[in-house]
Amino acid sequence: MPVEVIRKRLPGVMADLSHDSDRSQLRQFLRLLDTRSGGLFLYGRPRAFTELEQAQRADALLRMKRHPAGLVRGGARALKTLVALLWVTTDDPAEHLAAWEAMGYPGPDGPPRKVAKTVELVAIDRDTALQCDVVVVGSGAGGGTAAGVLAGAGLDVIVLEAGGYNNESDFSHLERDAYRRMYLHKGLGTTADGGMVVLAGATLGGGTVINYTTSFPTPNRVREEWDRVAGFSEVFTGEGYADSLDAVASRLEVNSDHGQPSPRAQILEKGLRDLGWQVGEMPRNAVGCTGEACGYCTMGCRLGAKRSTLATYLQDASQAGARVITNAHARVVLTDGGRASGVLADVGGFELTVRARAVVLAAGALNTPAILLRSGLGGRAAGRYLRMHPVTAVWGRFSERVDPWTGILQTRYSDEFEDLDGSGYGFKFETAPVHPLFPAAFMGWESGDSFKRDILGLGHTSVAGILLRDRDHGRVVIRKDGSPVFRYSLSRYDLAHVREGVARGGELLASAGAEEVISSTVTPVRWRPGSGTSVEDFVARVDAVGYGSNQTGYFTFHQMGTARMGRFPADSVVGADNEVHDTSGLFVMDGSCFPTASGVNPMISIAAIAHRGSSILASNLA
């Protein structure tokens, strides 16, 4: 990509960063790169980066990626990611990038079809005060489900969603456009140390609009653990939660009948079966997937096959009279005499005050604790016990074309290594559609030529995703301006399980016929299974790079636990009925309620918690 194009587009990408502090840190890093003293500190040469020859710049980047300071490693990784993003994405639906042509990527699958929007919105064009029975903050698996149940019970419900209203008509299937429209922090958010990219939904319907449709119920073993950790007798193991699991699975039309395996899934299944490892068919909340027109659903399902809350519970709520307000950023919970009495929100620069008999927070495990902390509510456990289900990957290069962006999202998985410690902690193998942005961000860099070869060879690449059930946890805190910060890094205990996942992932792809296996370390480690070297040698070389922050690449698609349910206020935020311990009339019904990590994709567990909690609340308010 020409330097002038990067210079032209980079300010726009930097403007998309989630907070002024992120932009400031990146600018500071770029300024250091442009000074001799900075060069000495960052890569050991008393010369500015712009003064270096091309080979010297490559060496400087490698030195920064091995720097003892995590923030320097993170800065180098951020620079590589942003430039790679500019290389493989475009904002112009008419543009067909040279990189796409080289890799055989088709780009968007035509223009979006015109589909009417059937959830009626309330427009806010001045400072406004409203009143209702229940105000629900968030509209994803938790908030959307709660709104549908509460409105269906005859209650007057107002739903506040921070994102916009996007449906089939808005799904351009351009990656950057999708991330800007429908992802939290426009898909550029990270943990505080920059070591993990944080992906979550920020659109009406939340993550259910852009997720992989994977619909596992809460495993029985996890339900037992949750009751034990929470100090409950039969909240998660009881009939009420079981009935809610069944109810949400029915409404979201969970099935295994629309799961034709893609080439990616076939590779995963072959490797698993050849090794004698467990393989299962993925339950999904989708009906009518064709396989041929699929693969773009992380940018929105144009077929209308995905049974998101937007297509189900929010439709129910709207038809029952619920009022829905988008682009509404909840600031604080209002209280009166120790009881929640409403929510104060910003909507397009106007102040919205919603007074209610009850408040339900379902803004997700990243923003629900931020609202609690800004409000001074939730007790000392608010924001604590953050789990991230960290995801890393091992890549396989095949002689035949895989076209990993095609096919149904997820149809096969393996729980062979879900219990590595005898306590239910380990990892799942999953695979997912891979469009250019994801590997450009995730794959490591050792030279311009090798990185270009990796990305332009995407059509021959498949991925073994390693979804870790993290035992240990981090924390959400807030800045002075009230915005959230995600403090999280993997513990040594959990890193040992990541290492096992990388080893077994390499073994799996080799068994499936990969000619080359590539790690997701910041400097990629490569293994050719036919060369006579072993998977143990591959892992030893990955060990030398490391699995920690900004050593191995991580994403989080599932965040949980920051306002967890429990019997005791000392280590939990809400009780058995989802009511906040220190504030009557305030409820939490989303993934932040999880006492520990779910170990499976959490959508159904979140929806079941919201269904059970809102059913109890509806009966109490009737």
Just list the catalytic residues.
Answer: 558
Question: Do 433 and 455 meet the contact criterion of CB atoms below 8 Å apart?
Answer: no
The structure tokens listed for 214 are 């994977």
Question: Do 499 and 417 meet the contact criterion of CB atoms below 8 Å apart?
Answer: no
Give the three-class secondary structure for 14.
Answer: helix
Question: Do 212 and 196 meet the contact criterion of CB atoms below 8 Å apart?
Answer: no
Question: Do 159 and 317 meet the contact criterion of CB atoms below 8 Å apart?
Answer: yes
Q: What is the dihedral of CA 241, 243, 244, 249, to 10 degrees?
A: 130
Q: Are strands 586-588 and 350-361 parallel, antiparallel or unpaired?
A: parallel
Question: Do 214 and 584 meet the contact criterion of CB atoms below 8 Å apart?
Answer: no
Query: Integer distance in angstroms from the first to the last C-alpha of the chain?
Result: 62
**What count of Cα atoms within 13 Å lies in the side-chain half-sphere of residue 584?**
7
Give the three-class secondary structure for 531.
Answer: helix
What gap in Å lies between CA 509 and CA 506, rounded to an integer? Answer: 5
**CA neighbor of 272 nearest in space, from 407, 424, 393, 430:** 430
Q: What is the CA radius of gyration of the chain?
A: 24
φ and ψ of 199, to 5 deg:
-115, 130
**CA neighbor of 70 nearest in space, from 551, 547, 553, 556:** 551
Question: Do 465 and 553 meet the contact criterion of CB atoms below 8 Å apart?
Answer: no
Question: Do 103 and 551 meet the contact criterion of CB atoms below 8 Å apart?
Answer: no
| C-alpha distance from residue 281 to each of 93, 194, 209, 259, 307 (Å) | 35, 34, 22, 8, 18
Give the chain's length: 622
Tokens 């504030």, residue? 583
Burial of residue 400 (CB within 10 Å: 0-12, 13-18, 19+) is: exposed
The structure tokens listed for 356 are 């209610």
Burial of residue 567 (CB within 10 Å: 0-12, 13-18, 19+) is: middle
φ and ψ of 23, to 5 deg:
-65, -40
Neighbours of 332 (CB within 10 A): 17
What gap in Å lies between CA 181 and CA 177, rounded to an integer? Answer: 6
**CA neighbor of 594 nearest in space, from 489, 491, 473, 496:** 473
The type of residue at 250 is: S
What gap in Å lies between CA 603 and CA 262, rounded to an integer? Answer: 22
